[in-house]
Structure 1
Amino acid sequence: MGNQLFQQARESVTYAHSVANGSVQGDKYEAIVKAKNALSSAFANSTDAERAQLREFQQTIDSI
Structure 2
Amino acid sequence: MGNQLFQEAREAVSYAEQVANGTLNGDKYEAIHKAKNALSSAFNQTTDAERLQLRELQNSIDSI
Shorter-chain TM-score range: over 0.9
The aligned residue for residue 7 of structure 1 is 7
Residue ranges of structure 1 left out of the alignment (5+ in a row): none
The aligned residue for residue 59 of structure 1 is 59
TM-score by length of 1: 0.98
The aligned residue for residue 48 of structure 1 is 48
The aligned residue for residue 29 of structure 1 is 29
Compute the RMSD of aligned alpha carbons. Answer: 0.9
Q: Distance in 2 between matches of 1:34 and 1:56?
A: 17
Please state how far the C-alpha of 1:47 moved relative to its aligned partner: 0.1
TM-score by length of 2: 0.98
Residue ranges of structure 2 left out of the alignment (5+ in a row): none
Q: Name the SS of the counterpart of 2:23 in structure 1.
A: coil
Q: Name the SS of the counterpart of 1:24 in structure 2.
A: coil
Q: Which runs of 4+ in 1 moved over 4 A?
A: none
The number of aligned residues is: 64
Q: State the percentage of identical aligned residues.
A: 75
